[in-house]
Structure 1
C-alpha cells in the first residue's frame, strides 16, 4: 500500500472514531450526571437498600439449554448468553435475527434470506446452528438451513432466548454444531389481556400485530396474528445499484403473515399439557440479475406446525416429558430466464455426464473464438486446445480427440453457426419443494441424590421432501437418537458434566457426540470451567441424494426446435457419500456475578478444529462437491452486563477471532474459484467485534443507544480493514390510563460505513433509517 493510501486509511479510521465518540459522549455525560444525582438507595452498593424489584440480581440465574438440566449460570458446562423480554423491548428491533447482533461472536447477514453465523461460516445457508422454539427444531433437513422469515413467533411473545455458544450435539444432536439458539415463549397466563400495535418506517416497513391471551375453563391460551412488510436493501446509487424510484429496487423485499396459538392446561399438580400450532404465509423477492424478457422470481411459501408436550412429575426429583410435533413447508418459486440455446442441447448434456468441466467450457461460452473453426472443421489438436484453455481459464484439462469430436457434433447441430449457438431462448422453470417432519421425543429427568442428576431420552424423526427439481420425486430420512447427560458433584466446589448422543439415520453413518466439562466454584456465583466437546453436522438430503435438474418449458424459438427441454448441467448422486462435518472444541471460561454492584460477566477462551467441511456451493454450477475443508478457529468471547443504578443498564459484548483455512483437493478448480472458496467460510465473520448498548429508564420513558463495530469484516486473505459500524437509538414512552396502556416509540439506525455486509449489494443508500411504533394493551 502506498504511503498516501495508508495515511488516508488511518485518517478515515480517526474520523470514524470521532463519530463514535460523538454518539457516546452524550451517553457518558447523562450517565455521570444521573449517577451523581442518585441517592444511596439508587446505587447498587453492598450496603445500599436494594429495591424489591431489583433485588433478584442476588439470585443466580438458571438456564436449561446447556444440558437439558436446569442449572445456575455458574455451573453450566459452556458459554451462555441470555436475552430477556426486557432486552428485546429496550433494543426495539423488529426481527429475530437483529437480536443476535448483541451476542458475542455472532454475525448477521440480511437480504432475501437472513443468515446468522457464530464465529465464522458460509453466509449463503445457515446450516451449522440448531434453532429451537419451545423445544421444536426449525432446522430444515432437506436443504440444510434455518429460514428466519418462516418462524411464526412474535418478539413480544418471547420470554427469553438462551444462546449456547459452542458445540452441543451431546444434548441436541447433529447440527447443534457451533451453537444452539433456544427461544422460550411466555406462558399464556403471563400475558393475559390484549395487545395491538402498528409500525411504519423507511424501506417500506409496515408491521401490524394483534395478540389476545385469556383463560377458558381449565385452559390458558394466547392467539397472535402478525403481518410484516419491508423492501430490503436499496443498494448504493454511486455504485449504480439503485435508482431514484421508490420501492424495492434490488428485489429483495419480503411480505410475511402468520397466526399462532399457544394453549396449556394442568390436569393435576403433577400433570400438564402444552399445545402449540401456527400457520404462516409469505413472499420473499429473490435478488437476481434479470433482463427485459425475464421475470424476477418470488419465493412463495406456506408453512405450519402442530406440537403437543405432556409433562408428568412423579416427585420433586423425578420428571418425565413426552413431546411430539408435525410440521410442513411448501415453497413455490417460478423463474422465467433467458440463455443461449446451446445449454438445452441433448448432446451437450451427454458430454456433461462424461466430462462436466469440458462441457462447461461450451455451455458457458468460455471457448476462445479462434478455436471455434478448428474444432468445427476437425483440424484442432487436443494438446493445443488443452494448453490454450489452461492458459485462459486457469484450470487443468484433459482433452482427448473424442472430446473434440463430441463438440464438433454440437456445432454441427447448430449448422456450424455461432449465432445459432449463442442465440437466446427464454423459458420457465421452478425450484418448488414440499418438506415435512414428524418428531417424537421422550425425556426422563432424575435427581438421584445430592451428588448425581441425570437426564436421558430417545428421539425419532422422519424428514421427507418432495421436489421434481431437486430430487425428481420424494426422498426421506429416518433418524433415531439416544442421549444422556449427567451432572456429578463429588465436592461442593467441583462439578462434572458428562454427556453424549448416539444417532443412527438412513442417509448418513451412525455417530456419537460426547462432551466432558468440569466447573470449579470459586464462590457460588463465580466459577472456572474447562470444556471438551465434539459435534457433527449431517449432510442434508440434497448433499447426499441429489437428482437435481432444471426442466425448462414454454421455450421461445431456438435452433434446436424445442418447446421444452432440460438444462445440460445436472446432479444425479454425483456428490455421493459425503462425510459428516466435524468439530472438536476446547474451552476455558470464567463466569462471575457481583450482586452488590449488579455486574455479571462471562469470558471464554477457545480453540475449535473444524474438518470435513462441505464448503462447495450446492448448485448446478458445481460439478464436484467434497467434504475436505479444514478450519481452525481460536480467540476470545466476552460479555458484561452492568446496572450501576436503578435507571441505567449497560450491555457490552465482543469477540476476537483468528481463523485459519485449509482447503482440500483443489486440482479441478480455477485460481478464481480457489480464492472464492477460501473466503466463503469466513465471509460472515470479523476479526474484532464490539457490541455496546446503554439503557436509560426514567418513569414512563425509556431510551436505549446501541453501537456495533466490526473490524476486518469479511477480510480473510486480504489486507483491507473492512469496517462495519452501526448506531441504533430507541426512544419509548408509555401512558397508563384506566385499564389501558398506550405505548409509542421511535427507532433510528445509522450506518456509519459504506462497506456492505457479506455481499456487494447488501447496502442501503440512505444512511439514516427509522420507524415509528404505536401500540395499546388492555
Structure 2
C-alpha cells in the first residue's frame, strides 16, 4: 500500500487551533449579548429549505449546509452535474466510476461507498432520484438541464429525521427555478474535445399561469479507449471502460397561481438515449444500452399568513433500459432489460403554535416495482428467481423549532418509517444553535440514521438463503455527533464542522462476506474536520475554498478495507474575477488524497492490489458577455485538466480524460 501524501499544509490539530482563535475573536466583538434583538442575529444570512423542511437562516439550521448557487455552477465550468460537487467539503467525486448497468459518475460524502454511492439521498425539488435497483443516483440520466437549476443545498451529515432511510451520510437537494423566473428564450451551444451539446429553452405566461419548456441533446464520447499510464499491463488493465453517451432531454414545468394563497405546480421530465457500459474483455452491450428516465410531478401548496403552509405532492418516476448483453469470456448473450417504477405521495404541514415555535410534520407512502431478470437471479443456478420485485414504505416525520431566546434555537426532529425489508425504524435528531454574538454561531447536534438494503443487495441475500446464510440482511446504522461554527466577518464567511460518526451493520460488497455469513459485519468510526471559506478578496474577486480531513477506524472485517475508503485529506478552491462588465474568468483547483475503496479492485475479496494515489487537477473558464439584440449573450472557453494530468479516480480502469476544452455560446432573449 502506498503511503498517502499529506498535501494540506496545516495538520488537523493546527486547523482546530486556528478555528478556536477565530471563535475567540468573534466572541470578543461584542459582550452585551443579552441586549441584542432577534433581528440582529439574522442579518444577511442565506435561507435554506432542506435541513429540517423548515425555511431557516443557514446559521439556525440543525445541520451543516453547503449552498451552490447558479453563479457558482456557471463559474465552475461543469460539464456534468456531478462535477459541481467537487466544491463541497468532504465530497468525493469520481468521473464515470460505475461500469455495470450504467457508466456514470460517483458522488459520495466522506467516501466509504461503492461506485453507486447508495449511502446518500439525492432530491430534485424534493423528489427522490435514488435508484430502486442499485441505489445511488444515475447522474447522467436525471431529466434536468444545468441552466434550469436555481440552487443546490447539500446537507453534510445524516438527515434521516427529515428524509428517512438512505439519507445516511448526507442529502443533496437540487432546487430548480420557478417558471416565472425563466421567461423568454435561451439557446446554448457547446462543442469541443469529446463533447457536443445543444440546449434550448422557452418560458411564457398566460395570466396566472407561467411555464417553461427545455429541450436538449448531448454527445459525450467519454474517456480515451486506452489508459495512458496503466498501473499494470496484465489482464487488460490498459483498457478504459466503454462510456460513450448520447443524451436527449425534454423537461416542462408550469406554475399556476390559483388565488392569493394557493398554487399548483406540474413538472414532466424525460432523459433518454444510448449508453455504453462495461469494458472490452467482460460483459458489454452489443449496441449500447438504450435508456429512458422520466417522471411526472403534481404539487398543490397553500401559504398561510402567519408563515405556515400546507402541501400535497405526488410523483411517478420510471427508470428503464433495453440491452442485449454479450459475455466476451464465454460467448453468451443475455437479456439486460430493466424497468423500475416508483409512486410516491407526500403531505406536509407547517404551523406556528406559539410566537417562539414552529412545527413541520407530515407523512408519505411509496411503492417501487422493478423488473430486471439479469440482476435478480439465483447466484448459484444462474436462473431468474422471479420476474418482478416490489418494495413498499410509509413514513411519518416531524420537526420542532423552538426559539428559547433570541440567541438560542433548538431543533427536535424524528422520522418513523416502515418498509418491506427491515420493518420499523425511528431516526431522531436534536440540535442547538447558539448565536454567541451577531454573525457568529455555534451548533451542536446529535442524529441517527439508517440505510435500507437496495433491491440488488436483497436479491443477493435471497440467492444464497438456505445455502450459505444463517441470518437475514438488516439495515445499516449511523450515530452522528457534530460541533459546527458559522462566522461572518467583513468580506469573509467561515463554515467549520467537527464530526464523529459511528457506523454499524455495514453491508459487505464482496462474495467473500456472504461466504462468511456476515451480511452486516462492517463497522467504522469516521471523525474529522471540514470547512468552507468564502472570501471577497476585492469588489470583483471572490475565493471559495473547501477542505476536509477524515480519519477512519475499522476492524475491516471480511476484507472490507473501510479504513482507506475516503481520502484522508482533500481540498478545492475556486477563484473568480470580473475584469469589467464584459470579461470574467475563474480558476478551479481540486486535490484529493490517496484512496482504496472497498470492493473496487479485481482480486478475490478486497485485498488491496493497488491504491489510487493522490491527484491534483486544474480547470479554468474565460467568458465574454455581450448584447445580442434585445437580449444578452455569452461566449465562454472552458478547459478542464489544464495540466493534462493522467490520473485515476476510484479504481484502476477509470483514468480521467486528459486536457479537455470546449466553447459554449449562450443567447438569452
Q: Per-residue displacement from partner, 1:439-479 (whole Å, max 9, x unpaired)? A: 00000001222221100001111111122333421121221
Q: What secondary structure does 2:140 align onto? A: helix
Match of 2:654 in 1: 762
1:643 is aligned to 2:557: no
Q: What secondary structure does 1:748 align onto? A: strand
Match of 2:665 in 1: 774
Residues 547, 571 of structure 1: 8 Å contact kept: no
Match of 2:582 in 1: 700
Q: Which runs of 5+ in 2 are unaligned?
A: 10-41, 97-102, 234-238, 377-385, 599-607
Match of 1:466 in 2: 371
Per the TM alignment, residue 713 of structure 1 is displaced from its structure 2 partner at its CA by 3.9
Per the TM alignment, residue 338 of structure 1 is displaced from its structure 2 partner at its CA by 4.5
Q: Residue 690 of structure 1: which of 554, 559, 571 is its match?
A: 571
Rg larger in 1 or in 2?
1
Judged with a 3 Å threshold, the aligned counterparts in structure 2 of structure 1 residues 702 and 629 are, in CA distance, closer, same or farther, namely same
CA distance in 2, matches of 1:622, 1:98: 37
Match of 2:100 in 1: none
Q: Per-residue displacement from partner, 1:289-320 (whole Å, max 9, x unpaired)? A: 338x9865722211211001111124323311
Per the TM alignment, residue 525 of structure 1 is displaced from its structure 2 partner at its CA by 2.2
Match of 2:442 in 1: 528
After superposition, residues 531-570 of structure 1 pair within 5 angstroms as 531-546=445-460
Judged with a 3 Å threshold, the aligned counterparts in structure 2 of structure 1 residues 590 and 295 are, in CA distance, closer, same or farther, namely closer
Residues 66, 153 of structure 2: 8 Å contact kept: yes
Residues 175, 537 of structure 1: 8 Å contact kept: yes
Match of 2:501 in 1: 608
1:331 is aligned to 2:321: yes
Residues 141, 463 of structure 1: 8 Å contact kept: yes
1:745 is aligned to 2:636: yes
Judged with a 3 Å threshold, the aligned counterparts in structure 2 of structure 1 residues 429 and 254 are, in CA distance, closer, same or farther, namely same
Per the TM alignment, residue 764 of structure 1 is displaced from its structure 2 partner at its CA by 4.2
Match of 1:583 in 2: 478
Residues 80, 164 of structure 1: 8 Å contact kept: yes
Q: Per-residue displacement from partner, 1:75-101 (whole Å, max 9, x unpaired)? A: 111111000011111112111110000
1:722 is aligned to 2:627: no
CA distance in 1, matches of 2:420, 2:230: 49
Q: Which runs of 5+ in 1 are unaligned?
A: 18-56, 243-247, 340-424, 550-568, 667-673
Residues 288, 297 of structure 1: 8 Å contact kept: no
Judged with a 3 Å threshold, the aligned counterparts in structure 2 of structure 1 residues 294 and 440 are, in CA distance, closer, same or farther, namely closer
Residues 189, 665 of structure 2: 8 Å contact kept: yes
Q: Residue 172 of structure 1: which of 156, 160, 163 is its match?
A: 163
More helix by share: 1
CA distance in 1, matches of 2:68, 2:214: 21
Match of 1:161 in 2: 152
CA distance in 2, matches of 1:758, 1:575: 33
After superposition, residues 302-451 of structure 1 pair within 5 angstroms as 302-339=292-329, 426-451=331-356
Residues 599, 643 of structure 1: 8 Å contact kept: yes
Residues 208, 227 of structure 1: 8 Å contact kept: yes
Judged with a 3 Å threshold, the aligned counterparts in structure 2 of structure 1 residues 279 and 618 are, in CA distance, closer, same or farther, namely farther
Q: Which moved more, 1:159-168 or 1:449-458?
A: 449-458
Match of 1:421 in 2: none
Per the TM alignment, residue 142 of structure 1 is displaced from its structure 2 partner at its CA by 3.2
Judged with a 3 Å threshold, the aligned counterparts in structure 2 of structure 1 residues 662 and 619 are, in CA distance, closer, same or farther, namely closer
Judged with a 3 Å threshold, the aligned counterparts in structure 2 of structure 1 residues 715 and 427 are, in CA distance, closer, same or farther, namely closer
TM-score, normalised on structure 1? Answer: 0.73
Q: Which moved more, 1:311-320 or 1:135-144?
A: 311-320
Per the TM alignment, residue 116 of structure 1 is displaced from its structure 2 partner at its CA by 0.7
Give the total of aligned pairs: 605
Q: Residue 593 of structure 1: which of 485, 488, 507 is its match?
A: 488
Over aligned residue pairs, what C-alpha RMSD do you find?
A: 3.0
CA distance in 1, matches of 2:222, 2:142: 18
Residues 435, 465 of structure 1: 8 Å contact kept: yes
Residues 470, 548 of structure 1: 8 Å contact kept: no
